[in-house]
A and B are shown apart, each in its own frame.
Chain A
Amino acid sequence: MAEQVSVFIGNKPGRLNAVTAILRDCAINIRAMTIADHRDYGVAKLLVSDPQAARLALADQGFAAALQPVLAVAIEDRPGSLHDLLEILSEHQINVLDAYGFVSQPHRWAVWCMEVADPVKAAGLVAARGLRVLNDNELYRM
């Protein structure tokens, strides 16, 4: 199962680049990232080359950082492919809590990442329908 790093970041200038500076210093690459804004703070979710090392480096510098399992699925970069994936989840009444996607190889592969209540079970259902669920290594190598 892939993991994302979530980091609590104060909503003010200079805080996001404090995070990116730590990752740069550890030579950790960022694959994808989203930020949810909650007025005084935000939570950044990052897919990185080495989630464990990223979490430790951030925590070392006093950041509230945690690892969360994320359901990352490779889908074709073409119209309708995301819909096909979501249909599977919908059929099984699986709710998507948060999601983001990125294109890894244009016109070939995209990756869709989701937070769901039971990611292991969801991964099994998706894989049973012939879709590729990615782990950390695969995610980074795509």
Chain B
Amino acid sequence: MKVPVWNPAVEFIEREALEALQLANLRKTVAWALKAPFYQRKLAEVGLTHPGDLTSLRDLRDLPYTTKDDLRAAYPDGLLAVTLEQALRLHTSSGTTGMPTVVYHSRQDLDCWTELVARCIIAAGATASDVFQNMTGYGMFTGGLGLHYGAERVGMLVIPASCGNTSRQLQLMRSFQTTVVHATPSYLLHLHAALASEGITRDQLALRKAFIGAEPHSEQTRRKIEDLFGIDAYNSYGLSEMNGPGVAFECVHKTGLHLWEDAYILEIIDPDTLRPLPEGQTGEMVMTTLQRRATPLLRYRTRDLSHWVSGNCPCGRTHRRLARIKGRSDDMLIIGGVNVFPSQIEDVLMKIPEVGTNYLIQLEKRGSLDRLIVKTEIYAKLVAGDLHALDDLRERIAESLRAAILIKPAVELHEPGSLPVSDGKAKRVVDLRPAF
């Protein structure tokens, strides 16, 4: 089988050459960083004033970490490393969890970003003859514009639908026989649940692939999306601090996400000790940009957790693969003293066929005890409306969760399509416990 590839020279580069390229790009990045007030100060603290001081990739480990708080403190222009004249666009984070952060892009930066996204699209088996409907938000959210320009560069017919308006999304998909979509996994599940009420059947659509990202999701959720629509779904990883989408993407083999190592250096560290972890162990992803002039970031602590996948991918790309993102270290819930990741709960729920497409995790305090409530939608076609069967289902969900997370939750069953979904990132966890 011929492997679809956008830029064979870079994607199949020998490891040795790739590492040499990384070192050269790292030196350039440090030179760019030294133009930003934030890094002038930060790098002076460790005695680095000249990029030539870096003699190997290992030297990166002597540089300080950059945190989200650093980005907030440097808002709005402490990290800007080019003149405003050279800057072409900026994206800020939503700022819903605190001060916003900002990333500036020069013309070359946007060109590099678009190139990375184009590689991803082709690696996932899409082509210039596909009709691509981009269902993620345009504007500050990087998912919309990021995929948009990548898809145009590939030469797809792009429908910039943006997010929301489910009824119109489905009409567009039917009218223009959309073959590839980009959306959050929760939105695709919501879209499927809406098919019936819009009077549209699966065979009226021409969908063959979906790029799913912007929120951590389980393998079970991917399979559910694939089964419901009868398509292939590919995991996309990105974060606004690293441009947005196009950081890592699954190729047609779906055995992990190829991280573009000519554009990023990834280290995986223990978030408590901050020490690098041996390859294969799960830890916090720390990333360094290698191609971005306007806002270079060195050793940025993403808070996302993952690990390297060992071995070579059958596609032949030499860029290593990341395992599915386990969630953010910030996402971890502590319930009655037990550590629980929302992704563990999702894993269990998506394995139960009668569970529908949406769920919500709610935490409450009852007296001094934590109470976990898991609200799930039911899958209409598999629930017969028999009260005993529903009681059994509720119990089966509660027991399966207890086996996985050691806490038995209260389980609520809800009608299909009745739990709240946002069109961007799904709100999966509601913590009503009073803060101390």
Write the residues of chain A forming the contact surface with B, with a CB cutoff of 8 angstroms.
Answer: 6-10, 15, 36, 38-41, 43, 59-66, 68, 98
Contacts and interface: CB of A to CB of B under 8 A. Distances in A.
Nearest to B388: A97
B378 A8 contact: yes
Given A64-B385, A66-B386, A39 B196 contact: no
Given A8-B378, A36-B387, A43-B387, A64 B416 contact: yes
Chain B interface residue count: which class?
Answer: 20 to 34
- Give the dominant DSSP class at A's interface: strand
Contact of B385 (A7, A40, A61): A7
Quick one: which of B386, B415, B418 has the most chain A CB within 10 A?
B415
B197 interface: yes
Contact of A6 (B197, B375, B386): B386
Interface in B388-430: 390-391, 412-418
A8 B354 CA distance: 13
A102 to B, nearest CB: 20
Nearest to A41: B413
B387 A64 contact: no
In this complex, the member of A6, A7, A39, A40 whose beta carbon has the largest number of chain B beta carbons within 10 angstroms is A40
Nearest to A44: B385
Given A41-B415, A43-B390, A62 B193 contact: yes
A9 to B, nearest CB: 7
Given A8-B383, A8-B385, A62 B197 contact: yes
Contacts of A38: 387, 390-391
12 contacts: A6-B384, A8-B383, A39-B412, A41-B415, A59-B196, A60-B197, A61-B196, A62-B193, A62-B196, A62-B417, A64-B385, A66-B386
Contacts, number: 70
B380 interface: yes
A41 to B, nearest CB: 5
B383 A64 contact: yes
Given A8-B385, A38-B387, A61 B378 contact: no
B385 A62 contact: no
Given A40-B412, A43-B385, A64-B383, 14 more contacts: A6-B386, A8-B385, A8-B390, A10-B415, A38-B387, A40-B414, A41-B414, A43-B387, A43-B390, A61-B197, A63-B416, A64-B380, A64-B415, A98-B387
Contacts of B375: 40
B385 A65 contact: yes
Nearest to A39: B412
A15 B385 contact: no
Nearest to A18: B415
B391 to A, nearest CB: 8
A40 B413 contact: yes
A66 B387 CA distance: 12
A6 B385 CA distance: 5
